[in-house]
């Protein structure tokens, strides 16, 4: 009788360990987010784009592929900017990233293709922006392949974007 009880307990223990390892989130990669990460938007292929800022008035849009490798990066000097950086990721469509930026003091929509080539999507001189109260399009932290999180190194005062799978 005791042997059967011990065997059942052993089986339950083994199954619970096996299930935990199957369903546990696993970190796939991480990327330096500088001092702050302000917005994250997944590209639905396992990668993402995000806005990061540094204390020296520099902000960037960074696009990473599913392996955490750089597809595109642009920066903007915010020395003459008050408040949050004037860049805002809008969305992904097929293999393109769209975001707001400021070029030559004009707000523009930039399209980035899958090879990292940028195109300004409106006529020269057109000033395009979102609603007045739209600081950032909301971050989306998950997609069908996993999720993203922000890891903070409190000693170095750095944040990292981290990709997890949910399998």
What pLDDT, on a 0 to 100 scale, did the predictor assign at position 31? 93
What pLDDT, on a 0 to 100 scale, did the predictor assign at position 148? 92
Q: Is the pLDDT of residue 34 over 90?
A: no
SS (H, E, C) the chain: CHHHHHHHHHHHHHHHHHHHHHHCCEEEEEEECCCEEEEEEECCCCCEEEEEEECCCEEEEEEECCCCCEEEEEEEECCCCCCCCCCEEEEEECCEEEEEEEECCEEEEEEECCCCCEEECCCCCCCCCCCCCCCCCCCCCEECCEEEEEEEECCCCEEEEEEEECC
Residue 83 falls inside a structural domain = yes
What pLDDT, on a 0 to 100 scale, did the predictor assign at position 13? 44
Q: Which of 58-62, 126-130, 135-139 has the highest mean pLDDT?
A: 58-62
- Tally of domains in the chain: 1
Residue 12 falls inside a structural domain = no
Residue 72 falls inside a structural domain = yes
- What percentage of residues in the chain have a pLDDT greater than 90? 19
Residue 14 falls inside a structural domain = no
Range of the structural domain that residue 83 is part of: 26-165
What pLDDT, on a 0 to 100 scale, did the predictor assign at position 18? 42
């Amino acid at each position: 009788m005791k042997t059967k009880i011990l065997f059942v307990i052993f089986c339950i223990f083994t199954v619970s360990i096996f299930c935990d390892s199957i369903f546990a989130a696993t970190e796939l990669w991480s990327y330096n987010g500088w001092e702050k990460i302000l917005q994250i938007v997944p590209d639905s292929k396992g990668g993402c784009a995000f806005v990061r800022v540094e204390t020296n008035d520099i902000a960037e849009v960074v696009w990473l592929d599913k392996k955490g490798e750089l597809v595109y990066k642009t920066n903007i000097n915010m020395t003459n900017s008050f408040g949050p950086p004037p860049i805002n990721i809008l969305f992904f469509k097929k293999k393109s990233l769209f975001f707001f930026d400021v070029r030559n003091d004009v707000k523009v929509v930039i399209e980035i293709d899958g090879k990292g080539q940028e195109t300004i999507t409106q006529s020269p001189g057109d000033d395009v922006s979102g609603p007045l109260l739209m600081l950032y399009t909301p971050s989306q932290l998950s997609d069908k392949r996993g999720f993203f999180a922000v890891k903070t190194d409190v000693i170095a005062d750095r944040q990292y974007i981290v990709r997890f799978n949910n399998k």
